[in-house]
Protein backbone atom coordinates (compact mmCIF):
# COMPACT_ATOMS: atom_id res chain seq x y z
CA UNK A 1 0.00 0.00 0.00
CA UNK A 2 1.37 3.37 -0.98
CA UNK A 3 2.57 5.62 1.83
CA UNK A 4 1.21 9.10 2.42
CA UNK A 5 3.84 11.74 3.09
CA UNK A 6 2.63 15.30 3.50
CA UNK A 7 5.17 17.98 4.38
CA UNK A 8 4.11 20.22 7.21
CA UNK A 9 3.68 23.99 6.89
CA UNK A 10 2.93 26.73 9.41
CA UNK A 11 -0.76 25.81 9.21
CA UNK A 12 -0.74 22.11 8.36
CA UNK A 13 0.81 19.14 10.11
CA UNK A 14 3.41 16.81 8.72
CA UNK A 15 1.75 13.46 8.08
CA UNK A 16 3.49 10.18 7.38
CA UNK A 17 1.43 7.03 7.01
CA UNK A 18 3.82 4.29 5.91
CA UNK A 19 2.55 0.77 6.55
CA UNK A 20 5.60 -0.89 4.96
CA UNK A 21 7.88 0.72 7.54
CA UNK A 22 5.40 0.64 10.44
CA UNK A 23 5.47 4.43 10.73
CA UNK A 24 2.28 6.37 11.44
CA UNK A 25 2.60 9.97 12.61
CA UNK A 26 0.86 13.34 12.54
CA UNK A 27 3.02 16.17 13.89
CA UNK A 28 3.17 19.94 14.04
CA UNK A 29 0.34 22.47 13.86
CA UNK A 30 -3.09 21.73 12.43
CA UNK A 31 -5.16 24.67 11.30
CA UNK A 32 -5.69 24.12 7.58
CA UNK A 33 -8.08 26.43 5.76
CA UNK A 34 -10.18 23.52 4.50
CA UNK A 35 -9.73 20.90 7.19
CA UNK A 36 -12.03 18.35 5.52
CA UNK A 37 -10.20 18.28 2.20
CA UNK A 38 -6.81 18.33 3.97
CA UNK A 39 -7.59 15.22 6.04
CA UNK A 40 -9.67 13.41 3.41
CA UNK A 41 -6.68 11.47 1.96
CA UNK A 42 -5.71 10.42 5.50
CA UNK A 43 -9.20 9.08 6.25
CA UNK A 44 -9.32 7.29 2.88
CA UNK A 45 -5.88 5.78 3.48
CA UNK A 46 -6.95 4.52 6.91
CA UNK A 47 -10.11 2.99 5.39
CA UNK A 48 -7.91 1.04 2.99
CA UNK A 49 -5.37 0.18 5.70
CA UNK A 50 -8.15 -1.15 7.95
CA UNK A 51 -8.88 -3.88 5.40
CA UNK A 52 -5.50 -5.52 6.10
CA UNK A 53 -3.69 -3.76 8.95
CA UNK A 54 -0.32 -4.72 10.39
CA UNK A 55 -0.19 -7.03 13.40
CA UNK A 56 0.58 -4.00 15.54
CA UNK A 57 -0.16 -0.38 14.68
CA UNK A 58 1.49 2.33 16.79
CA UNK A 59 0.08 5.71 15.77
CA UNK A 60 1.91 8.82 17.01
CA UNK A 61 0.29 12.21 17.43
CA UNK A 62 2.91 14.92 18.04
CA UNK A 63 0.83 18.03 17.62
CA UNK A 64 1.81 21.31 19.23
CA UNK A 65 -1.47 23.02 18.30
CA UNK A 66 -4.74 22.24 16.56
CA UNK A 67 -7.88 24.29 16.01
CA UNK A 68 -11.46 23.27 16.70
CA UNK A 69 -12.13 22.22 13.11
CA UNK A 70 -9.08 19.92 13.23
CA UNK A 71 -10.20 18.38 16.52
CA UNK A 72 -13.22 16.81 14.77
CA UNK A 73 -11.07 15.29 12.03
CA UNK A 74 -8.52 14.05 14.57
CA UNK A 75 -11.41 12.31 16.32
CA UNK A 76 -12.42 10.76 12.98
CA UNK A 77 -8.87 9.40 12.65
CA UNK A 78 -9.00 8.03 16.20
CA UNK A 79 -12.35 6.39 15.45
CA UNK A 80 -10.80 4.63 12.43
CA UNK A 81 -8.04 3.35 14.71
CA UNK A 82 -10.68 2.22 17.17
CA UNK A 83 -12.40 0.23 14.38
CA UNK A 84 -9.10 -1.49 13.57
CA UNK A 85 -8.67 -2.29 17.28
CA UNK A 86 -12.24 -3.58 17.61
CA UNK A 87 -11.59 -5.96 14.72
CA UNK A 88 -9.03 -7.75 16.87
CA UNK A 89 -5.87 -5.92 15.83
CA UNK A 90 -3.20 -4.57 18.16
CA UNK A 91 -3.37 -0.75 18.12
CA UNK A 92 -1.57 1.74 20.36
CA UNK A 93 -2.04 5.49 20.20
CA UNK A 94 0.83 7.59 21.51
CA UNK A 95 -0.14 11.18 22.29
CA UNK A 96 3.03 13.27 22.54
CA UNK A 97 2.76 16.71 24.12
CA UNK A 98 5.16 19.34 25.49
CA UNK A 99 5.36 18.75 29.27
CA UNK A 100 4.45 22.37 30.06
CA UNK A 101 1.42 22.39 27.72
CA UNK A 102 -1.53 21.37 29.88
CA UNK A 103 -4.01 22.02 27.05
CA UNK A 104 -2.37 19.47 24.76
CA UNK A 105 -2.07 16.99 27.61
CA UNK A 106 -5.77 17.41 28.44
CA UNK A 107 -6.71 17.08 24.78
CA UNK A 108 -4.98 13.70 24.74
CA UNK A 109 -6.76 12.67 27.93
CA UNK A 110 -10.12 13.67 26.46
CA UNK A 111 -9.49 11.68 23.28
CA UNK A 112 -8.37 8.71 25.39
CA UNK A 113 -11.72 8.83 27.22
CA UNK A 114 -13.69 8.87 23.96
CA UNK A 115 -12.08 6.01 22.05
CA UNK A 116 -11.63 2.47 23.26
CA UNK A 117 -8.02 1.98 22.19
CA UNK A 118 -4.84 1.59 24.26
CA UNK A 119 -3.64 5.17 24.70
CA UNK A 120 -0.26 6.35 25.96
CA UNK A 121 0.46 9.92 27.02
CA UNK A 122 4.08 10.90 26.33
CA UNK A 123 5.30 14.19 27.77
CA UNK A 124 8.52 15.66 26.41
CA UNK A 125 10.56 18.72 27.41
CA UNK A 126 9.25 21.76 25.51
pLDDT digits over 81-112, tens only?
A: 999 999 999 999 999 999 999 999 999 999 99
Model confidence at 2, pLDDT cuts 50, 70, 90, reads very high
Pair 50, 28: CB distance under 8 Å: no
- Is residue 56's pLDDT more than 80? yes
Pair 64, 28: CB distance under 8 Å: yes
- Is residue 4's pLDDT more than 80? yes
Q: What integer pLDDT is reported at residue 53 of this predicted model?
A: 97
Q: What integer pLDDT is reported at residue 126 of this predicted model?
A: 76
In percent, the amount of the chain with pLDDT more than 90 equals: 99
Domain chopping of the chain, boundaries:
57-126
Cross-strand partners of 66:
30
Averaged pLDDT score across all residues of the chain:
97
- Concatenated DSSP letters for the chain? ---EEE---SSS-EEEEEGGGTEEEEEEEE--SSHHHHHHHHHHHHHHHHHS--SEEEEEEEEEEE-HHHHHHHHHHHHHHHHHHHTT-EEEEEEEEETT-HHHHHHHHHHHHHS-S-EEEEEE--
Across 67-90, average pLDDT:
98
Q: What integer pLDDT is reported at residue 103 of this predicted model?
A: 96
Q: How many CB atoms lie within 10 A of CB 113?
A: 9
Give the C-alpha separation, 123 to 114, whole Å. 20
Amino acid sequence: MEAIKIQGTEDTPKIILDADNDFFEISGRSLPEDVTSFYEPVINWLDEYAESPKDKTVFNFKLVYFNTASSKLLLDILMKLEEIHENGNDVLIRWHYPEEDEDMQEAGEEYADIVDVPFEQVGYPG
